[in-house]
Homo-oligomer: A and B are copies of this chain.
């Protein structure tokens, strides 16, 4: 069983060794570009750890599945960045800024094919289950992105709707990666589903933590701009909860603040409102609820507790991040 840092090394090696065709270069260069921009490689690491829970002799297979998930994830980043009109990804130009929108659409499309090519290398005994898991996961992610876009146009998004959106957009892929890891190992369906449940709920918790860190993160450690969600009036858990419980006068103030162009002042004022209504703790307790469901599911996975140590350690490391 690999440690987390060994895994990250393995994944970086595997990513750097994937060869794409040389021509047409403008189709394939964006793939290498985004795949090598880095990121935390959380999904592939969780996938490989899920395989190794059951069988440590399937590293090659687990890595192919991990590359499928990581390639799919990066494909969604390219297309999401077009839809969100985002200029930067991990501090670098987004693909559509560097190569143009049309090229970014098409390179994304061919990445979906590349993801499926990795999957197709899996042993035939697990192939059908692996594909079914991957397809369901990919479909959920698309639905999540669709809801995210629609919510930007709506003023009446509820907290259950928001939680369902982040479940689809973010958490399903974490759950799907872990279930895929279990499928690669030939785990039984119940254990694979428990790992899905762990991943999905862990993914929700991770996103809620992201919402919290956007407001309360250490600017030196948080990967994105602290207050970015506030500046863009993003309907996060924090904002939706505040709107749910704030008194009318504060709602009016919030409405006015949403138009404010002095961003440091906007961030300060809205953070004050969050503090006043204890939103940080409410969000943290919502996050804890998902974490509890996640770890309860992990506890029920039918392997020795000792084998779960690396998985638990990675999950705890991720939840203690300040970035």
Contacts and interface: CB of A to CB of B under 8 A. Distances in A.
Interface of A: 21, 23-24, 26-27, 76, 79, 82-83, 102-103, 105-106, 108-110, 112-114, 116-117, 119-120, 124, 127-128, 131-132, 135, 138-139, 142-143, 145-147, 149-150
A119 B117 CA distance: 14
24 contacts: A21-B143, A24-B146, A24-B150, A27-B143, A27-B146, A79-B105, A79-B109, A82-B105, A102-B149, A106-B149, A108-B109, A109-B142, A110-B139, A112-B112, A113-B138, A113-B139, A113-B142, A116-B116, A116-B135, A117-B135, A117-B139, A124-B124, A124-B128, A127-B127
10 pairs of A and B residues whose beta carbons are closest in the complex: A110-B142, A27-B146, A83-B102, A120-B131, A24-B146, A113-B138, A113-B139, A117-B135, A112-B112, A116-B135
A102 B23 CA distance: 27
A158 to B, nearest CB: 15
Contact of A116 (B109, B131, B149): B131
Contact of A128 (B24, B120, B132): B120
Nearest to A109: B142
A162 to B, nearest CB: 14
B132 A120 contact: yes
A106 B142 contact: yes
Contacts of A138: 110, 113
Nearest to A134: B116
Contacts of A127: 124, 127-128, 131
B83 A145 contact: no
Contacts of A27: 142-143, 146
A143 B31 CA distance: 13
Chain B CB within 10 Å, residue with most, of A23, A103, A120 = A120
A251 B288 CA distance: 73
A113 B135 contact: yes
Given A124-B127, A127-B128, A106 B139 contact: no
A146 B110 CA distance: 10
Chain B CB within 10 Å, residue with most, of A114, A131, A132, A146 = A146
A94 to B, nearest CB: 14
Contacts of A139: 110, 113-114, 117
